[in-house]
Structure 1
């Protein structure tokens, strides 16, 4: 059964960037773990604070900047950024090594007429080829790390590095997202020239099960270059850690971190909060499901209209909406439904 998800409405961005589509066709409600979670809870139920952080950072990116979505899976984050900001302003690259999942990522791009590029490759510390281990449980846990999950098989895949890809494409990444199932340290090791030249903002998953000795070695040069390590949480301000202190804050509830090349400002936190409130409104009741083979209704993804007036200050009830949305997500987590 085809599934479309509602995109978050941000009048500030529409006023500055122009209208963007109100929905995204993700093709299926159950083909992958990500699609199943979107069907159960909408965008609000899939890493909403990470989404808000990525969209707020993309909002600040200079025109012509690149966005790297490393470990893109079906390309949800690439599709979000491309839908909202992809009208020639940002160049988004979705790196996904699993052949079937990369194919689905391309199909989602085509079905929504988006412009991001799918790069069917893993990313690590050195270019070449490597064995990708296919998780026995879910395709979202495929990894170059054979010890990450029990695997049912493997496939040989091409490998690039952030530095090699940046040089090859003459790209200027402003934002890099890394979610590669405990192989994040290797990706960071292969990105140091890019860090020196472009100083991208990096959103990186840090799992409790990762090799923290390798992570500490990879994070040390970033901290030496002035990067702060911030756990991404719903409430601001975010704490700052260094490479020796971050591990005590890594947990199942705090997996995604912002590796920031500059201090986090109140304006940044306000932008994240505004996106988060909009994302939390996109719950499962806003999903659009149609019977197999049936088209979506007319104008299902028509652009949001421009705001009738210039966006004003944050509404006083926004904190209540944020708390209510987070409470609903906590209730969903307590139900413990897996992918």
Structure 2
């Protein structure tokens, strides 16, 4: 059964960047773990704080800047960034890196069905270019990894491998934002990105799992903290605590899996932008999904752009979500100050 999800309405971004679609066709409600979660809870139930962080940072991308979505799966984050910002003049060029053949194919189909323009690279990233075995997790295709010890598996496939440094230099890109979610292989990706990080100082949203090899991670994170990167767990409350490579592990938990590796101190303006996106995302729950029978079409104008003159119904949802967010995250109502 086809599924479309409502996209978050952010009036500030609409005013500064122009219209963007109000919904995204994700093709199916049950084919992958991500699609099943979206069916159950909309965007509101799928890593909303990570979405808010990525959208807040992507909105700061300079003209010609790039966004790397490493471990893109079906490309949900790539599609969100490209749908919201890709059409504006000088908007970021988003690239989805996904080595699993079936999910990379879905990533391309979602791009095509939504007339988006992000790029799909069917490759893994690591510390050295070449090839590697990608192990298919018994638990879920979202847990596939180059690390054979990450999940139980009986099958694998050989996939091409590149590095952030090789890809960036070869394409002459300037990455502004890099998302890394590669199922305990993050240290290798960061090691293969050091030249890019030194030169361009991108923002990095990185999954840090409790089950990762934290000795290897500390080694990979040390050059970043030496460049004055702060390590911040992405949480509903703000401002966010800053850690370094010697202290971050105490804050890693199943509830704090995604971290922001920040090239400069976080400001009150950043936290406000992230908060506005979070409130908008929380309005996009399962009741706002669009489901149709097989082979049926979505309703007329299902993804028509948000425009200022037609915002009242969506703003009502947004106001309700803001009230829910204030009750759920009361510390967020406190004055925001920069944190180190």
TM-score by length of 2: 0.92
Structure 2 counterpart SS, 1:61: coil
Distance 1:278 1:316, change over 3 A: closer
CA distance in 2, matches of 1:257, 1:307: 37
Q: Gapped runs of 5+ residues in structure 1?
A: 310-314, 328-339
> Does the 8 Å CA contact 1:15/1:307 hold for their aligned counterparts?
no
Aligned counterparts, 1:22-101, within 5 A: 22-87=22-87, 88=89, 89-101=91-103
* 2:288 paired residue number: 286
CA distance in 1, matches of 2:163, 2:30: 32
Aligned counterparts, 1:230-269, within 5 A: 230-269=232-271
> Does the 8 Å CA contact 1:281/1:325 hold for their aligned counterparts?
no
After TM superposition, give the deviation of residue 27 of structure 1 in Å. 0.1
> Does the 8 Å CA contact 2:280/2:321 hold for their aligned counterparts?
no
Listed one character per residue, the Cα deviations across residues 158-178 of structure 1 (whole Å, up to 9, x for unaligned) are 001000000011000000000
320, 324, 332: which is aligned to 1:321?
Answer: 324
* 2:226 paired residue number: 224
Listed one character per residue, the Cα deviations across residues 108-142 of structure 1 (whole Å, up to 9, x for unaligned) are 00000000000000000000000000001210000
Structure 1 counterpart SS, 2:4: strand
CA distance in 2, matches of 1:324, 1:138: 33
Structure 2 counterpart SS, 1:60: coil
CA distance in 1, matches of 2:97, 2:32: 17
CA distance in 2, matches of 1:215, 1:103: 31
After TM superposition, give the deviation of residue 54 of structure 1 in Å. 0.2
> Does the 8 Å CA contact 1:280/1:325 hold for their aligned counterparts?
no
After TM superposition, give the deviation of residue 324 of structure 1 in Å. 4.9
Higher mean displacement: 110-119 or 86-95: 86-95
Structure 1 counterpart SS, 2:59: helix
After TM superposition, give the deviation of residue 320 of structure 1 in Å. 2.8
109, 130, 133: which is aligned to 1:131?
Answer: 133
After TM superposition, give the deviation of residue 306 of structure 1 in Å. 2.5
* 1:14 paired residue number: 14
After TM superposition, give the deviation of residue 308 of structure 1 in Å. 8.1
After TM superposition, give the deviation of residue 144 of structure 1 in Å. 0.1
> Does the 8 Å CA contact 2:43/2:281 hold for their aligned counterparts?
yes
TM-score by length of 1: 0.92
Listed one character per residue, the Cα deviations across residues 87-122 of structure 1 (whole Å, up to 9, x for unaligned) are 151100000000010000000000000000000000
Q: Gapped runs of 5+ residues in structure 2?
A: 312-317, 331-340
Paired residues in the alignment total 322
Distance 1:39 1:317, change over 3 A: closer
> Does the 8 Å CA contact 2:283/2:320 hold for their aligned counterparts?
no
Distance 1:308 1:7, change over 3 A: closer
* 1:181 paired residue number: 183
* 2:334 paired residue number: none
Structure 2 counterpart SS, 1:176: strand
CA distance in 2, matches of 1:143, 1:22: 33
Listed one character per residue, the Cα deviations across residues 252-309 of structure 1 (whole Å, up to 9, x for unaligned) are 0000000000000000000000000000000000000000000111100000013689
CA distance in 1, matches of 2:31, 2:130: 30
Distance 1:196 1:41, change over 3 A: same
> Does the 8 Å CA contact 2:282/2:321 hold for their aligned counterparts?
no
CA distance in 2, matches of 1:306, 1:129: 49
RMSD: 1.6
Structure 1 counterpart SS, 2:308: coil
